[in-house]
Chains A and B, each alone.
With several copies, the nearest count.
Chain A
Amino acid sequence: MSIEDDGFVIRSLESEPGTIQVGGELDAHAANKLDDLVDQLLASGVTNLVMDIGGLTFIDSSGLRSLIRARKRLGDQPNAVVLRDPQAGTLRLLEITGLTEQFPVV
Chain B
Amino acid sequence: MPDEVALQFPAAFEYIRLARLVASGLAAQVNFTLDDIEDLRIAVDELCSALVEAAADRSSTVTATFRIEDHQIHMEADVPTTAANGSYVIDDISSHILRAAVDRHELEQNADRLVARMSKQCLTVN
Q: Spell out A's residues near B (CB within 8 Å).
A: 4-7, 25, 27-29, 32, 58, 60-62, 64-65, 89, 93, 96-99
Contact (A98, B17) CB under 8 Å given A5-B29, A6-B31? no
CB-CB under 8 A from B41, the residues of chain A are: 58
- The answer to whether B102 has its CB under 8 Å from any CB of chain A is no
The B interface is mostly helix, strand or loop, or mixed, namely helix
Given the known inter-chain contacts A5-B29, A6-B29, A60-B42, please indicate yes or no for A29 contacting B13, CB distance below 8 A.
Answer: yes
In contact, B13 and A61 (Cβ under 8 angstroms): no
B22 near A: Cβ within 8 Å?
no
How many positions in chain B have a CB within 8 Å of any CB in the partner chain?
Answer: 25
Q: B residues near A, CB below 8 A? A: 13-14, 16-17, 20, 25, 28-29, 31, 38, 41-42, 45-46, 49, 52-53, 91-94, 96-97, 100, 126
> In chain A, what residue has the closest Cβ to B101?
A96
Q: Complex formed: what's the CA distance from A27 to B28 in Å? A: 16
Instruction: Provide the residues of chain B in CB contact with A65, threshold 8 Å.
Output: 93
Query: How many contacting A-B pairs (Cβ < 8 A)?
Result: 58
Instruction: Give the 8 A-B residue pairs with the shortest CB-CB distance, closest first.
Output: A6-B28, A29-B13, A28-B13, A61-B94, A61-B93, A29-B14, A96-B100, A97-B96
Bound form: Cα–Cα A61–B13 in Å: 13
Chain B residues with CB under 8 Å of A96's CB are 96-97, 100
- Assuming the contacts A6-B29, A60-B97, A96-B96, asked whether A25 and B17 have C-beta atoms less than 8 A apart, the reply is yes
Q: Name the residue of chain B whose CB is nearest to the CB of A7.
A: B17
Query: CB within 8 A of A89: which of B14, B31, B38, B96?
Result: B38
For this complex, 24 residue pairs linking A to B, each with C-beta atoms less than 8 Å apart, are A5-B31, A6-B28, A7-B28, A25-B17, A25-B20, A27-B13, A27-B17, A27-B45, A28-B13, A28-B16, A28-B53, A29-B16, A32-B13, A60-B45, A60-B46, A60-B49, A60-B97, A61-B49, A64-B93, A96-B96, A97-B96, A97-B97, A98-B96, A99-B93
